[in-house]
Amino acid sequence: MGVALARSAQWTAARYGTRALETTPLNEAILEEIMMFVESFIYKHPQEAKYVFVEPLEWKTNLDPSAFESGYIVSETTVKSEEVDKDGQPLLFLSVPHIKIRSFGQLSRFLLTAKDTKLKEAQACIEANEGPVTKILGLDYNTMKEDTSVVNILDKITKEEDPASEIKMKLGKLLEQLDLHLLNHSLRHISLEIRLNPTIVKNDIELLKHFSGKGEQTVLESIDYTSDYEFSNGCRAPPWRQIHGEICYVLVKPHDVETLCITCSAEGVFLNGGKTNDEGEINYERKSEIYKDLVTFLKEKSAKFSENMSKQDVRFSEEWKKEKEEPKEAPKKEEAAAPRKALPASSKSMLEKNQINFGKSQMTKRLEPSLNWKATIDFKEHKSLLRDIQEEKRGGRLERSGPPVSPGRAQLIHKSAEKIEEMISESSSESEEDEEPPDHRQEANADLPSEYWQIQKLVKYLKGGNQTATVIALCSMKDFNLAQETCQLAIRDVGGLEVLINLLDTDEVKCKIGSLKILKEISHNPQIRRNIVDLGGLPILVNILDSPHKSLKCLAAETIANVAKFRRARRAVRRHGGITKLVALLDCAQNSGEPAQSSLYDARDVEVARCGALALWSCSKSYANKEAIRRAGGILLLAGLLKTSHENMLIPVVGTLQECASEENYRAAIKAERIIENLVKNLNSENEQLQEHCAMAIYQCAEDKETRDLVRLHGGLKPLASLLNNTDNKERLAAVTGAIWKCSISKENVTKFREYKAIETLVGLLTDQPEEVLVNVVGALGECCQEYENRVLVRKCGGIQPLVNLLVGINQTLLVNVTKAVGACAVEPESMMIIDRLDGVRLLWSLLKNPHPDVKASAAWALCPCIQNAKDAGEMVRSFVGGLELVVNLLKSDNKEVLASVCAAITNIAKDQENLAVITDHGVVPLLSKLANTNNDKLRRHLAEAISRCCMWGRNRVTFGEYKAVAPLVRYLKSNDANVHRATAQALYQLSEDADNCITMHENGAVKLLLDMVGSPDQDLQEAAAGCISNIRRLALATEKARYT
Amino acid sequence: MNRKKLQKLTDTLTKNCKHFNKFEVNCLINLFYNLVGEVTEWQGITIGLDRNAFRNILHMTFGMTDDMIMDRVFRGFDKDNDGCVNVSEWIYGLSIFLRGTLEEKMKYCFEVFDLNGDGFISKEEMFHMLKNSLLKQPSEEDPDEGIKDLVEITLKKMDHDHDGKLSFTDYEQAVREETLLLEAFGPCLPDPKTHMEFEAQVFKDPNEFNDI
């Protein structure tokens, strides 16, 4: 009991001398246990009950003497027990208000007498008696306890043979048992308690903050921390209070109650003494019960709060719940994210993500566009939630962390086989939205909005009504705000989806139309999409595409466009032949001479084609679907539709083309079908979205040289350049800069861009833009800077500083582009001076440590012109501690591009004798020699150059020979690349200074190859080849001479 | 009937009917006489399709089942209220029935639904027309409750001036917002499938048929 009381029981801060037990549930539980023990003691252990305590337990009691009955001598103010010890002293002595008790027997009786107040008495007793065990058993018990091996105790008992001491021992054991029991009990109790931590508290408060403010609808008027300072552990309480587990203090002003000053501690949330006015100091004393969290507390304290909380629709609580569940789900999510596609896709998919993301805020730029599921929430709410979500996601992108819902039974059969197919067949442009969101159903006991019940009623009529009633119910259902998630989920949760889908299978055109009109709206919700697919809705939708009624076709196509936003759905559309049918819809508009609307169920042909294009746009995110569209002859039809001038037709058409342009086939077709011309034409449209998709399509296609030329010939460069000036629409800006980047790969285009002053604008875009824009801007500048005039231009516009600043980023694509641009600038000595001054070379050098090979290679390439053009390059290179070793070690990489770039860097580094000496010490020669057996011409060239440079030091020539680098080099001469020939001849020339190498060369037939090279028009090559031959010949002559003399 | 007379009849009817061409009118006249038999005029009294014969056609050809609605459709056709549909009423009625513009159809449907012809569709009329539209659930205490509720839903949707009944303006506005509500209280127009079948069957001579 002693240990339990000392450790587990929660004492108030012992400030005023007297100790007091706090009224916490844990303490109450402990007291309860102790009381039970004491009360039953007299029956269970009558022997031990008689044992007289060494010292009495004393405390102040509230019990009236009159309460005592038989067995006691009662007077006005005193009570004595009849039971006495061997000295004749009573075992219970009460002299109001002090009481002394000296045996368990009396304690038991006392508690029985106290009845209702026994809890208070027990508490008073424990509070007043520090170390009750010592008092009961005496000090020696505690010393004896030091070595409480059972043997020891038994020993003592058997030795002393004293019955009193035996009883004492037994009592001691009993108390020990109680102690253990209490500890276990409190442990169980503690483990039941939800411990709050700073993060949970913080999230709660942040969330509440968003829903606070003036007005009737908010849950609180205000909620604020008392302190702005947050410690690194997330607490705001001063350190001496943190010891007590307190996290922070919050001032809450509910609508209907005075301002509450609340302590949030690890144990829970409670009201404290409030701010003491004079110093703003907080009275930390607890003034209320402890609640498990802030919301529970506030619900208890403020009726208005709890009312408004329940009014906040279900989403709120879901949000809340989710936040709390997250930590558990985090690892799962990471697993799911693991097999993500590698870099080449990332720039593209990132761009795509932006389309969804940008509009909201720049801050979200690195986050995934997973807000779809709540995209329908009205704006205000949305905005306030947004920040929370961002926070959540920073903590590991937990948004869609739930387990994927198991697909329908039928699909299970094929599942494993399909999975593999799907992995391959899906194109890289799959965006995040593909991941299936968690399924959150409304909880049965949650406060359901009134819409829920109305919708339930309508669904009942849908089920049990004839055609007329069904149509009325459908029309009425359509009047609900179907963009609202509550309604969407309500329809599903009352079983409406099944009915709606079943209606599609009937012959009733009117019911089908009504049902589709609803499905079209609610399928904006990602969960509903999945449910539709799970219920087998897609095959039915696909069948409706064959319907003779155009409006049905339209609605079905539009619904498919919404549903096919995730992989499984797209596959289902394809499997059921939907792609062909959708492509057929495109054909409608081609039929000239539109007949008048002959029936109520007919839409215009253009509309049909538009809906078809819309659905194809959604479907075209899968590789296999792109292929299917192509095979169904979709490209021609799309090209045809591109000639129209309806904006809402053009957007899905261009969108589809842009999506498909990731495929080589399409790019070829786009070139062939004169689509570029129309894309360029639409760049001039007024519609921003259309401009964006056009630019995006150009971006995709302009990898191809002819396409780039076509863009120029059709006058596309000017609109692109002028669109640069509008930087508000980030999605469009990203697409436009992307198109400019790709177009500027052609020199003629760069000249045009310079004419249109696009380069100056691009430099201006180097700051304050989202990453996706930056990647493209920097890429474009990298291309432009290949020309002298532009380099000067970029320098004059002050572009070098922001470029160098970008070298510290983390986005790989961006880094690749930035290093390239910086490298291009470094060709200019004047620019180089600026780069050097900004410490750009060091930044480039540290990028050699970047884990991604593309970045490494790009950085190494960029270093070459830097070293070439820096003043005092040798000294600069040496100044990077460990830099040379780093470079040499990169020769161990297995990426050809990295190797080639590093060889090029080494060639430049080795121009400085001292550095050459250092890298030789780091073992550059064996590493280079090891690379010699390669077929990659780029690597061969730079390797040969590096070898020829490295020959200039010490006995490196000989060492290359020893490491067998010479023979493979000779073979390089058979390559088709003139650059390789030149570099190799130079290397061989250097190596041929060593006699052994000459022999090796000769043996490998170098002479004949070199003789051919002597006839080359390339002077350097001639010279090197001739030099090498002369070295070999000289050796031969020398040996001959030696032989004959 | 002699050929000349038929020619003349066709010409007059074609002139008055904008939705059918001459050939189609001819076909429909022929159909009409096939249905009533050759004796259309007996001693100056025009004979036509009587209520039963007409309802039979509606049922067999257009798949209508609701007695009350069929009665109302007959009333819609029988403009002169003489208890039978004569040949001009037949042509005129079918032109709306099959080819009517939205405006014509709205007017026609409203007349069908306005059972007592007072210019309003009242709650009672709605109830009357919808009373068979829900599956009776034996468990429910008041079997009519669902219907009443349905009437309320309909009123909420269509009664724009909140006077508890539908005027033609209310009806027209609701239908323009949502065409599906054209036949809100029961099918009184041919459904697209039977419509096409009927036209295909009646106008089957392809030589003179060029405009559908």
Both A175 and A202 in one domain: the answer is no
- Residue A364 pLDDT exceeds 80: no
CATH, residue A1000: 1.25.10.10
How many domains, in total, are found in chain A?
Answer: 4
CA distance A535 to chain B (A): 25
Q: Where residue A5 falls among pLDDT bands split at 50, 70, 90?
A: low
Residues of A whose CB is below 8 A from B146: 460-461, 464
Q: Which fold, B3-36+46-100+191-203?
A: Recoverin; domain 1 (1.10.238)
A204 and A117 share one domain: no
Q: pLDDT category, A394, cuts 50, 70, 90?
A: very low
Rounded-to-integer distance, Cα A753 and Cα A760, Å: 10
Can you give the pLDDT at residue A262? 87
* Alpha-carbon gap, residue A681 to A751, rounded angstroms: 21
Same domain, A167 and A228: no
Choose among B129, B137, B183: nearest Cβ to A464. Answer: B137
Query: Among A361-370, A986-995, B152-161, whose mean pLDDT is lowest?
Result: A361-370
CB of B187 less than 8 A from some CB of A: yes
Q: What proportions of chain B, in percent to the nearest 5, are helix, strand and coil?
A: 60, 5, 35
Whether pTM > 0.90 for this model: the answer is no
Query: Given this model, what pLDDT does residue A333 score?
Result: 44
Note whether B133 contacts A599, CB cutoff 8 Å.
no
**Contact yes or no for A475 and B102 at CB 8 A:** no
Instruction: Give me Rg for the CA atoms of chain B.
Output: 19
Which tokens is A456 given? 């339930």
**Both A32 and A143 in a single domain?**
yes
What's A261's domain CATH number?
3.30.2280
CB contact under 8 A, B154 and A472: yes
Which amino acid, A654?
V
Phi-psi bin for A775: left (phi > 0), alpha (psi -120 to 50), beta? alpha
Shortest Cα–Cα distance, A583 to chain B (Å): 25
**pLDDT tens digit sequence for B88-101:** 888 888 888 888 88
Hey, of A600, A601, A602, which one would you mutate to test binding to chain B, going by the most B CBs within 10 A of its CB?
A: A600
pLDDT confidence band for A555 (50 / 70 / 90): very high
Spans of chain B below 50 pLDDT = 206-212
Q: Which of A458, A461, A478 comes nearest B134 by C-beta?
A: A461
Query: Residue A371 — very low, low, confident or very high, per pLDDT cuts 50/70/90?
Result: very low
Q: The complex's ipTM?
A: 0.90
Minimal Cα distance from A514: which residue of B? B180
Given A471, A475, A509, which is nearest B192 (Cβ)? A509
Among B134, B137, B178, beta carbon nearest to A469:
B134
Q: How many residue pairs from chains A and B have C-beta atoms closer than 8 A?
A: 75
**With respect to CATH, is domain B104-181 assigned 3.30.830.10?**
no
Residue A893 reports pLDDT greater than 60: yes
Final residue belonging to a domain, choices A193, A217, A243:
A193
The pair phi, psi for residue A257, each rounded to 5°, is -125, 160
* Measured distance CA(A671)–CA(A668) in Å, rounded: 5
Record: contact A472-B134, CB cut-off 8 A: no
Which residues in chain A are contacts of B150 at CB distance < 8 A? 461, 465, 469, 472-473
Please check the confidence at residue A417 and state whether its pLDDT lies above 50.
Answer: no
Note whether B53 and B36 are within 8 A (CB).
Answer: yes
Would you say residue A509 lies in a domain? yes
B81/chain A closest Cα distance in angstroms:
28
| B28 CA: distance to closest CA in chain A (Å) | 19
Instruction: Specify burial of residue A232 (Cβ count, 10 A radius: 0-12, 13-18, 19+).
Output: exposed
- Contact between A476 and B156 using a beta-carbon 8 Å cutoff: yes
- Determine contact: B194 vs chain A, CB below 8 A: no
Position A676 confidence tier, pLDDT thresholds 50, 70, 90: confident
Q: Given pLDDT bands bounded at 50, 70 and 90, which one contains residue A386?
A: very low
Residue A549 distance to chain B (closest CA, Å): 9
Based on the domain organization, do A159 and A217 belong to the same domain? no
Amino acid making up residue A750 = V
Choice between A446 and A740, residue whose per-residue pLDDT is larger: A740
Q: What is the pLDDT of residue A9?
A: 58
Q: What average pLDDT does the segment A904-933 reach?
A: 90
Is the pLDDT at A64 greater than 90, yes or no? no
Closest-approach residue (CA) in chain A for B177 = A475
A739-781 pLDDT per residue, tens: 999 998 988 898 888 888 888 888 888 888 888 899 999 999 9
Query: Domain end: A319, A340, A359, which one?
Result: A319
Position A437 scores a pLDDT of: 52
For the stretch A163-219, pLDDT in tens is: 667 777 788 888 888 888 887 777 776 665 556 788 888 888 888 888 787 777 777
Q: What percent of chain A has pLDDT over 90?
A: 15
Asked if A453 has any chain B CB less than 8 Å from its own CB, the reply is no
The CA distance from A892 to A931, in Å, is 9
A478 CA: distance to closest CA in chain B (Å): 10
Subunit contact B179:A600, Cβ cutoff 8 A? yes
Residue A15 has pLDDT above 70, yes or no: no
**Selection from A517, A519, A510, A465 nearest residue B151 by Cα:** A465
Q: Cβ–Cβ of A465/B135 closer than 8 Å?
A: yes
pLDDT at A882: 85
Residue A286 φ then ψ, to 5°:
-75, 135
Nearest to A501 by CA among A463, A473, A545, A547: A463
Interface check for B130 against chain A (CB to CB < 8 A): the answer is: yes
Do A465 and B180 lie within an 8 Å CB cutoff?
no
Domain range for residue A226? 198-319
How confident is the model over A527-532, as a mean pLDDT? 91
Higher-pLDDT residue of A12 and A773 is A773
Domain with CATH 1.10.238.10 in chain B: 3-36+46-100+191-203, 104-181
CB contact under 8 A, A476 and B187: no
Contacts of A475 in chain B (CB under 8 A): 157, 178, 180-181
Q: Which two tokens stand for residue A715?
A: 């006058």
Which among B130, B181, B192 is the nearest to A469, CB-wise?
A: B130
Contacts with B193 from chain A: Cβ below 8 Å = 507, 509
Using a CB–CB cutoff of 8 Å, tell me whether A467 touches chain B: yes
Interface contact flag, B133 A509, Cβ < 8 Å:
no
DSSP A585: H
Q: Does residue A402 form part of some domain?
A: no
A454 touches chain B (CB under 8 A): no
Residues A168 and A294 in one domain: no
Q: What chain A residue is nearest to B178 in terms of C-alpha separation? A: A475
For residue A887, tell me if it sits in a domain: yes
Within this chain, do residues A45 and A99 fall inside the same structural domain, yes or no?
yes
Residues of A in contact with B179 (CB under 8 A): 600
Residue type, A903: C
The reply to whether residue A472 touches residue B192, judged by beta carbons under 8 angstroms, is no
Q: Which residue has the higher pLDDT, A132 or A720?
A: A720
If asked whether residues A186 and A205 sit together in one domain, one would say no
Res. A662: pLDDT tops 80:
yes
Is the CB of B150 less than 8 angstroms away from the CB of A469? yes
A930-977 residue pLDDT tens: 998 888 989 999 999 999 999 888 888 889 989 988 889 898 988 888
Interchain contact A479–B (C-beta under 8 A): yes
**Does B180 contact chain A (CB < 8 Å)?**
yes
Chain A nearest-CA distance from B4, in A, is 33
Note whether A1016 and A1022 are within 8 A (CB).
yes
Q: Do A513 and B130 touch (CB under 8 A)?
A: no
Does residue A379 fall inside a structural domain? no
pLDDT exceeds 80 at position A85: no
- Residue A248 forms beta bridges with which residues? A264
Query: Which of B102, B149, B193 is closest, CB to CB, to A507?
Result: B193
Rounded to whole angstroms, the Cα distance separating A51 from A459 reads: 77
Mean pLDDT across chain A: 78
User: Which residues of chain A lie closer than 8 angstroms to B212, CB-CB?
Assistant: 598
Query: Within an 8 Å CB–CB cutoff, is residue A97 touching chain B?
Result: no
Chain A residues whose CB is inside 8 A of the B105 CB are 600
Q: Taking a C-beta distance cutoff of 8 angstroms, is the pair A1000, A967 a contact? A: yes
For residue A854, being part of any structural domain is answered with no
Question: What is the per-residue pLDDT for A941?
Answer: 92
Of A160, A193, A226, which residue sits at a domain end? Answer: A193
CA distance A175 to A33: 12
Q: Which of A392-406, A506-520, A763-777, A914-928 has the lowest mean pLDDT?
A: A392-406
Q: Is the pLDDT of residue A392 over 60?
A: no
* Residue where the block lists tokens 């368990």: A104
- Any chain B CB within 8 A of the CB of A66? no
B residues 97-126 near A, CB within 8 Å? 99, 102, 105
DSSP assignments along A185-250, one per residue: HHHHHHHHSPPP-HHHHHHHHHHHHHTBSSSSSSSBSEEEES-----TTS--S-HHHHTTTEEEEE
- Best interface-test mutation with B: which of A453, A474, A475 has the largest number of B CBs within 10 A? A475
List the 522-561 stretch of A: residues with Cβ below 8 A of B. Answer: 548-549
Is the domain of A181 the same as that of A236?
A: no
Chain A CB contacts of B157 under 8 Å are: 472, 475-476, 479
